[in-house]
Structure 1
């Protein structure tokens, strides 16, 4: 499951309902019964909440954590070796998507 905002949750669930995506909706309904009685679906992972990235130090910590996941799992030796990681761009290597810094 994912972690995110109630706004995006509602948009995704509305789209699934419009398209009659019963497999996904029944999956979310099944997990909702385990946790709470309010609402129909459990969309986001229980116990996780969005966190504002309001300073550069926190952003760098979270980015390093994400970049090191393939290393921790033993897929690569360095974060920039993972083809799908933005760590490649930060290391000055060719990346699948460019990184745009807004500061």
Structure 2
């Protein structure tokens, strides 16, 4: 059940019961990026993550996405 906020009268887009995850290592950061990029594929919107126009997966695939000069996370196995 979604909780209501006192400043919301009709519709609420964001959930108030989110579960923040601390990005404490490169491995966790990469896991979360992969999860976000795979969501459109799992929902059947596209075949490849980089095909979803509103995703940074395009930039991670070496192409140019919608946002110019996007800084991407690079994982170096240290």
For normalisation by structure 2, the TM-score amounts to 0.69
Encode CA deviations 1:29-66: one digit per residue, 9 max, x unaligned.
Answer: xx9xxxxxxxxxxx7432x3222101100000000000
1:45-84 alignment, distance < 5 Å = 45-46=16-17, 48-84=18-54
Structure 2 stretches lacking a partner, 5+ long: none
Aligned length: 68
For normalisation by structure 1, the TM-score amounts to 0.54
The two structures, once aligned, show a CA RMSD in angstroms of 2.9
Q: Secondary structure at the match of 1:25?
A: coil
Please say if 1:26 is aligned against 2:9: yes
Please tell me whether Structure 1 or Structure 2 has the larger radius of gyration of its CA atoms: 1
Q: Secondary structure at the match of 2:29?
A: helix
